[in-house]
């Protein structure tokens, strides 16, 4: 298992994590079996947004005695009322549910205290300017949570969070299908077939900007809904008209700027194996780009997705990394010193490009790589 730094939190999280939602379907023994399998493969981050007391208790029992090896995302605002999940901003219920989370997980702290499910811009401002954020900040000041995060499906809200200076990391929904779509305050839009009809092509500019802002600001991203609820695994339900594998979806998410971990849902130990297979997969098995480029609908074109298809470069340039630094630099009026140093620290950079065109011949999306190298050389010197 490989590990990545989660923004500026100082935490190192496994590239493949555990999104525990599906554990609600399982009894205590099955939950323990799945969590034990995750541990055996080196997974060290789990998200527990669910308010169901039974699954919280089962997770707590499964990690008992091993709490320190887990980085836990726990949510403020996810409550259990009259036998069902309710998202709320009622502070009495928020506090009661968070206390219950600590008790049932058998812990006195949560690594990543998540402001739960904020998809509306107006609500974001109410939360951040009111008693909800004040309570979350109080928990951090007391050491009950170590870092403040937020979960959202809306790139506009995520951007507000990343620029707020108050949110240290974001749990965001990322997959090749969702990335096509403009911002919406209704999460259900991302799952509707009609949403994908029309002139969609390439990553929506707001989403691409979000990832770059998070990278620039040191706001780490953990990924939810990386498989679009399993729809991407079947050509009949995939908006592209072609199926992707778990490994390809994981690779897509992990090639976005600022992403540290993708939190996958597991219904069985076999599901865990299928996800962690990413760590030993070869480039052909990870290759989402060729699949998307040849899809009958909504193929990406002319846009670098940092997929790495351009490699190998005869001059040894990490073209995807140079492209990522270029896109970060283009966001700003002046190139930050930190970006310049990162660029200069590369073993080879755009100045070493011999314009052979081999990269362009391999690019599934017909990106004008040579022109981008020239632009990088111009910007970075």
Tell me what pLDDT residue 197 has. Answer: 80
Rounded Cα distance, 12 and 261, in Å: 10
CA distances from 238 to 205, 207, 224 (A): 22, 20, 17
**What percentage of the chain has pLDDT greater than the value 70?**
99
Q: Name the pTM for this structure.
A: 0.91
Q: Residue ranges of the domains in the chain?
A: 3-293, 319-380
Residue-wise pLDDT tens digits, 155-182: 999 999 999 999 999 999 999 999 999 9
Tell me what pLDDT residue 193 has. Answer: 82
Residue-wise pLDDT tens digits, 193-217: 888 887 677 899 999 999 999 999 9
- SS3 of 223, please? strand
**Beta partners for 169?**
149, 220
Give me the phi and psi of 104, to 5 degrees please: -75, -30
The dotted CATH code for 3-293 is 3.20.20.100
At 302, is the pLDDT very low, low, confident or very high (cuts 50, 70, 90)?
confident
Residue-wise pLDDT tens digits, 341-365: 889 899 999 999 999 999 999 998 8
Rounded Cα distance, 65 and 95, in Å: 26
Quick count: other Cβ atoms within 10 Å of Cβ 287?
20
CA distances from 159 to 105, 153, 181 (A): 31, 11, 16
124 with 157: CB under 8 angstroms? Answer: yes
Please give the DSSP secondary-structure letter assigned to residue 182: P
Q: Show the beta-strand stretches assigned E in the chain.
A: 3-5, 12-14, 16-19, 45-48, 71-76, 78-81, 84-87, 110-115, 145-152, 169-173, 220-224, 259-264
Would you list the DSSP string of 15-77? SEEEEGGGGGGS-HHHHHHHHHHHHHTT--EEEE----HHHHHHHHHHTTT-GGG-EEEEEES
- SS3 of 142, please? helix
Rounded Cα distance, 9 and 249, in Å: 25
CA dihedral in degrees (177, 182, 183, 187; nearest 10)? -40
Residue-wise pLDDT tens digits, 307-352: 888 999 999 999 999 998 998 888 888 888 888 888 989 999 999 9
Q: Per residue in 204-218, is it b (16+ CB within 10 Å) or e — as a string?
A: beebbebbbbbbbbb
Residue-wise pLDDT tens digits, 5-52: 999 999 999 999 999 999 999 999 999 999 999 999 999 999 999 999
């Amino acid at each position: 298992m490989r590990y990545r730094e989660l923004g500026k939190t100082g935490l190192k999280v496994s590239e493949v994590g555990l999104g525990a939602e599906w554990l609600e379907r399982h009894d205590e023994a099955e939950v323990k079996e799945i969590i034990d399998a995750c541990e055996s493969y080196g997974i060290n981050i789990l998200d527990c947004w669910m308010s169901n007391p039974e699954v919280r208790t089962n997770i707590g029992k499964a990690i008992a005695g091993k709490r320190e090896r887990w980085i836990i995302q726990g949510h403020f605002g996810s409550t259990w009322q009259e036998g069902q999940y309710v998202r709320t901003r009622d502070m009495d219920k928020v506090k009661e549910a968070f206390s219950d989370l600590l008790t049932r997980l058998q812990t006195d702290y949560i690594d990543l205290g998540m402001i739960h499910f904020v998809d509306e811009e107006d609500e974001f401002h109410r939360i951040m300017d009111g008693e909800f954020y004040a309570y979350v900040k109080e928990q951090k000041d007391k050491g009950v949570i170590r870092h403040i995060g937020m979960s959202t499906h809306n790139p506009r809200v995520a951007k507000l969070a990343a620029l707020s200076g108050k949110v240290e990391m974001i749990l965001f929904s990322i997959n090749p299908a969702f990335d096509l779509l403009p911002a919406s305050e209704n999460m259900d839009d991302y799952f509707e077939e009609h949403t994908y009809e029309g002139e969609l092509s390439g990553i929506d500019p707001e989403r691409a900007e979000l990832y770059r802002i998070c990278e620039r600001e040191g706001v780490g991203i953990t990924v939810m809904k990386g498989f679009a609820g399993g729809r991407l695994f079947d050509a009949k339900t995939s908006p592209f008209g072609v199926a992707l594998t778990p490994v390809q979806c994981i690779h897509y998410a992990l090639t976005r700027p600022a992403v540290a971990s993708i939190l996958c849902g597991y219904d069985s130990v076999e599901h865990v194996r299928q996800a962690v297979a990413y760590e030993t997969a070869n480039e052909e098995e990870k290759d989402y780009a060729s699949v998307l480029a040849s899809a009958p609908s909504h193929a990406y074109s002319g846009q670098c997705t940092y997929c790495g298809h351009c490699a190998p470069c005869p001059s040894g340039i990490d073209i995807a990394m140079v492209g990522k630094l270029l896109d970060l630099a283009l966001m700003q009026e002046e190139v930050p010193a930190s970006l310049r140093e990162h660029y200069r620290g590369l073993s080879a950079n755009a100045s070493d490009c011999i314009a052979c065109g081999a990269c362009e011949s391999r690019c599934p999306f017909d990106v004008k790589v040579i022109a981008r190298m020239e632009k990088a050389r111009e910007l970075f010197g």
